[in-house]
Amino acid sequence: MTPLDILDAPACDPLEDIARSLLVEIGEDPERDGLRDTPARFARWWREFSSYEPGRVDTLFSLEAEGQTVVVSGIDVWSLCEHHLLPFSCSIAIAYRPKGDVLGLSKFARVAHRHAHRLQVQERLVQDIAAEVRAITRSEDVAVMGRGEHLCMTMRGIRTPAVMTSLAFSGVFGEHGPERQELMTTLLGSR
């Protein structure tokens, strides 16, 4: 290899070096056939996951829907536990009461994915989603429920699968009244 070849060679992603070091530390040979391309795949995945771009999330449609509760459920996302860097899967349900315009259906999933594609804890994930839906829709009446299984519990420590539920309520859903009761019946009945 000549000095010019070295200058023209693509720079190695530092995440590839981290993956190689990890493989060596756990007793693997990063040069063996099955692992030779693993550091590059590891680096690409981390870059892809952390640079997720959801596209437009603020598409509103004119529709008189005052007094209605809109619930979008079954939004499945993956995130990474910020304490162990292990994945957790979470099924998200988002409810809101429109104040005139309604949010485009796909935008709920885009918002959920935007907040899931970073190091997270489930409690903050549902709070962040609720805050963004409130900001976009200009409705204080927002609720988000997340039900997740965390591999940091399933694969390590106690090694027992469990489902954690986190709720974020604001506006009429934050009050103990008929709207909240109706929402809880809907959310718990749609599992």
Q: What is the pTM of this model?
A: 0.88
- Average pLDDT over every residue of 8-35: 91
In the prediction, which pLDDT does 188 show? Answer: 85
- Average pLDDT over every residue of 162-184: 95
In the prediction, which pLDDT does 12 show? Answer: 85
158: left (phi over 0), alpha (psi -120 to 50) or beta: alpha
- Average pLDDT over every residue of 25-42: 97
- Average pLDDT over every residue of 42-59: 95
Whether the predicted pLDDT of 34 surpasses 80: yes
Whether the predicted pLDDT of 65 surpasses 70: no
**What are the pLDDT digits (tens) for 118-140?**
999 999 999 999 999 999 999 99
- Average pLDDT over every residue of 56-64: 90
Query: Residue 9: which pLDDT band, with cuts at 50, 70 and 90?
Result: low
In the prediction, which pLDDT does 156 show? Answer: 93
Burial of 183 by CB count in 10 Å (0-12 exposed, 13-18 middle, 19+ buried)?
A: buried
- Tokens 């809907």 sit at which residue? 186
User: What gap in Å lies between CA 129 and CA 137, rounded to an integer?
Assistant: 12
**What are the pLDDT digits (tens) for 74-111?**
999 999 999 999 999 999 999 999 988 899 999 999 99
DSSP label at residue 171? G
In the prediction, which pLDDT does 189 show? Answer: 80
